[in-house]
């Protein structure tokens, strides 16, 4: 019994210490996901939280200024002006019409101050002759009435 108690105490101390560290790290880095449309409905305390917002980069909106890059994200018919001043270079996939995910804080003026930007290009093979290929692609092993 004594030995098991020793193990129990040792394991307990390790777990409690690590859980405390996890809780600290959680507080430092928790980030809320919101859509652009949701931003307007947030309560004031929610607006000050660190957040992540996804959208499509508006065509022609990328303006590279000294020390920062401004652009507009669009989604669900709403637009969000974003200003990125982080030190990492913007990803190569960050271009007009790419899907982007920005992380940072919402400013009082409605401008989003981004610390990180992730981006991915929209797939391009959709623009095949005859329109939407994705919906029309058929398995050749199961040909329809031909």
Residues in contact with other proteins by CB under 8 A are 3-4, 6-7, 10-11, 14-15, 17-18, 21-22, 24-26, 28-34, 52, 54, 63-66, 87-93, 95, 99, 101, 118, 120-121, 123-125, 128-131, 133, 136-141, 143-146
Q: In angstroms, what is the minimal distance from the CB of 55 to other proteins?
A: 12
Cβ at position 56, least distance to other proteins in Å: 12
Unique residue bearing structure tokens 């058929």: 138
Considering the complex, state which of residue 81 and residue 86 has its C-beta at the smaller distance from other proteins: 86
End-to-end alpha carbon distance in the chain: 78
Burial of 75 (0-12, 13-18, 19+ CB in 10 A): middle
CB of 53 to other proteins, least distance (A): 11
Pairwise CA distance, residues 94 & 107, whole Å: 23
3-state secondary structure (DSSP) of residue 21: helix
């Amino acid at each position: 019994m004594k030995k098991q108690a020793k193990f129990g105490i040792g394991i307990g101390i390790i777990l409690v210490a690590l859980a405390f560290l996890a809780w600290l790290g959680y507080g430092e880095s928790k980030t809320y996901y919101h859509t652009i449309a949701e931003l307007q409905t947030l309560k004031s305390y929610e607006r000050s939280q660190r957040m992540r917002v996804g959208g499509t980069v508006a065509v022609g909106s990328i303006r590279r200024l000294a020390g920062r890059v401004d652009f507009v994200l669009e989604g669900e018919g709403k637009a969000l002006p974003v200003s990125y001043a982080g030190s990492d270079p913007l990803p190569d996939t960050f271009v007009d019409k790419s899907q982007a995910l920005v992380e940072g804080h919402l400013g009082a003026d409605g401008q989003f101050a981004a610390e990180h930007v992730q981006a991915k290009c929209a797939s391009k093979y959709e623009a095949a002759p005859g329109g939407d290929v994705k919906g029309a692609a058929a398995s050749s092993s199961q040909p329809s009435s031909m």
